[in-house]
Copies of this chain bind each other. A is one copy, B any other.
Amino acid sequence: MLHGKSFIAGAPLADSARTFHAVSPLTGDRLEPAFHEVGAAEVDRALILAEEAFTIYGHAPAEKRAALLEKIGEEIMALGDDLLQRAHFETGLPLARLTGERGRTVGQLGLFAALVREGSWCDARIDTALPDRQPLPRPDLRRMLAPLGPVAVFGSSNFPLAFSVAGGDTASALAAGNPVIVKAHRAHPGTSEMVAQAVVRAVAACHLPAGVFAMLHGSGAEMGTALVRHPLTRAAGFTGSRTAGRALFDAAAARPDPIPVFAEMSSLNPVFLLPGALRERSAQIVEGLKNSVTMGVGQFCTKPGLVFGIGGSDFERFAENFAAAMRTAPPGTMLTAGICRAFHEGLTTMERVPGVVALGVSDTAPDAAKTHGEPVVFATDAENFLGQPTLHEEVFGPYTLLVDAPGFPDLVRLARRLEGQLTATIHGTDEDLAEAGVLLAALQRRAGRIVVNGFPTGVEVCPAMHHGGPYPATTDERFTSVGTAAIQRFARPVCLQNLPASALPAELLDANPRGLMRLINGQLTRDAVA
């Protein structure tokens, strides 16, 4: 039974004057119950309790943090199908997808638990004392990563489980030892409440201070600003629109003491089709690209929104077949009425750009009552693309733009003119790739992940993943929001000089009781200090 309340330190808050309801994009129906909005006073209270909890949780042994993450996963599973049903009604995402996303969410929590338990992520470094060194002795220096303090996490609309209340940002922030305050996304408040309940139960079961976690319902811009401006907030993680992400970044940068905001915002995920690949497996690329563009109704940050090729009969045939495939692809329910409206406005904007041709639109008319977005492909040429900044903007939904260029050097020129991207993809034969070094190099400058002969959707959660990229893909290209390296966003080094062993954390003791890989006098080793 949902109560529609925010949680601070384990307890639901009282009713408030302002409420809102979730609306199912499947039907347009208002879903019960009403959700109670909170404001700056509750943000303040959540942060004060988080800061108090941090004095304990920030020093909790790794095993305690790992156990919490695993317990959260167990409690999410214990919510059973009710969670998936509610998420389905709130987001319109199919149950099969949500079942997979729940698996990913619980898997992420487990992955961070394992990372924390193994422990080497903390980058322990020891330089032992050299008391007889001339002209000056060297003191004993030991350094490791420590948590930052309370972290604000903004639930994203398109991953109601994997990038929301107990998603990747929360998991990585908790793993590093930080309390988390989640701003629930207004599109799936019931899903958020259920998962928050699971986290609250896990925190209690692990005998951790309840202030380690809070989840607040509130108005997006107002609460977002309050969270990143609060003096006790030390960092924030966000996935969403460029406008909202930039607003949070700007508010954080303008603080008396600026804090990092990791916003993952906008990406067109360009795909480059080289001649050999188009000659040899055009049909396969048509099918794969259509799936990648339309998967999840095009609502992935890694959806390919730009497809470049060299003009000529092969590319023309590819374009025809791809347009045909998009015509047969059915519309699907988008996450919210607002996203659906923005999608259609985006299509209108693109269509009005001179030199843009509507190549293919789904044969099935979208049903507005079902918040449908329909597969669409437009086309233009390289010169027009370069001259029209509008075409460089993301349209969130099942849309992509084909761009034909006169020759290979133009593809390189196009790559260099792109804004920052999460991903860039090349399809090519071995011969194509052998000659595409310049293009590869240009794309590595513009994107965080380069995909060869594959598609950018389907982001693997693993140590080698980098889900980040130059602005506007993210506000900080040096960090990832997916994969175990995401923990690095929420930690800072602390160096301890000449501390007695009794005051050192286990990670920095001579004996290396945790068996970490450490950098001792410049050598990576799991050995104890000699």
The interface of chain A, by Cβ under 8 A from chain B, is 55, 59, 100, 114, 120, 125-127, 135-136, 138-139, 141-143, 146, 148-149, 249-250, 253-254, 256-258, 260, 419-420, 430, 433-434, 437, 440-441, 444-445, 447-454, 458, 460, 462-466, 468, 470-472, 475-478, 480, 485, 491-500, 502-503, 517, 519, 522, 524
Query: B146, B448, B471: which contacts A444 (Cβ < 8 A)?
Result: B146
Task: Return A514 CB to nearest CB of chain B, in Å.
Answer: 14
Contact across chains for B519 and A495 when beta carbons are under 8 A apart: no
Q: Which residue in chain B gives the minimum CB-CB distance to A250?
A: B253
Residues of B within 8 A of A254 (CB): 253
Contact across chains for B454 and A141 when beta carbons are under 8 A apart: no
Give Cα distance in the complex from A475 to B258, angstroms: 7
- Asked whether A125 and B493 contact (CB < 8 A) given A249-B258, A437-B503, the answer is no
**Chain A to chain B: the 10 pairs with minimum beta-carbon distance, closest first:** A466-B495, A253-B253, A257-B471, A125-B464, A141-B464, A449-B495, A127-B464, A143-B464, A466-B493, A451-B497
Beyond known contacts A430-B502, A433-B502, A462-B522: 10 more, CB 8 A cutoff: A127-B463, A256-B471, A257-B419, A257-B472, A433-B503, A440-B503, A448-B493, A450-B494, A454-B498, A477-B492
Give Cα distance in the complex from A462 to B130, angstroms: 12
Task: Return A480 CB to nearest CB of chain B, in Å.
Answer: 7
Query: B59, B126, B462: which contacts A464 (Cβ < 8 A)?
Result: B126
- Asked whether A260 and B478 contact (CB < 8 A) given A127-B460, A452-B500, A464-B141, the answer is yes
Residues of B within 8 A of A433 (CB): 500, 502-503
Residue of A125, A149, A476 with most chain B CB atoms under a 10 A cut-off: A125
Residues of B within 8 A of A458 (CB): 136
15 A-B pairs whose Cβ atoms sit less than 8 Å apart in the complex: A59-B441, A125-B463, A127-B462, A127-B465, A136-B458, A141-B465, A148-B477, A253-B253, A253-B258, A260-B476, A449-B494, A462-B522, A464-B495, A466-B494, A517-B517
Contact across chains for B524 and A120 when beta carbons are under 8 A apart: yes
Give Cα distance in the complex from A411 to B306, angstroms: 60
Give Cα distance in the complex from A55 to B473, angstroms: 22
Residues of B within 8 A of A142 (CB): 464
Task: Return A292 CB to nearest CB of chain B, in Å.
Answer: 13
Contact across chains for A55 and B441 when beta carbons are under 8 A apart: yes
Give Cα distance in the complex from A447 to B495, angstroms: 9
Residues of B within 8 A of A59 (CB): 441
Give Cα distance in the complex from A451 to B460, angstroms: 42
Residues of B within 8 A of A503 (CB): 433, 437, 440, 452
Give Cα distance in the complex from A250 to B254, angstroms: 8
Q: Which residue in chain B gives the minimum CB-CB distance to A146?
A: B444
Residues of B within 8 A of A463 (CB): 125, 127, 143, 519, 522
Contact across chains for A497 and B138 when beta carbons are under 8 A apart: no
Task: Return A51 CB to nearest CB of chain B, in Å.
Answer: 10
Residues of B within 8 A of A478 (CB): 260, 491-493
Q: Which residue in chain B gives the minimum CB-CB distance to A425?
A: B497
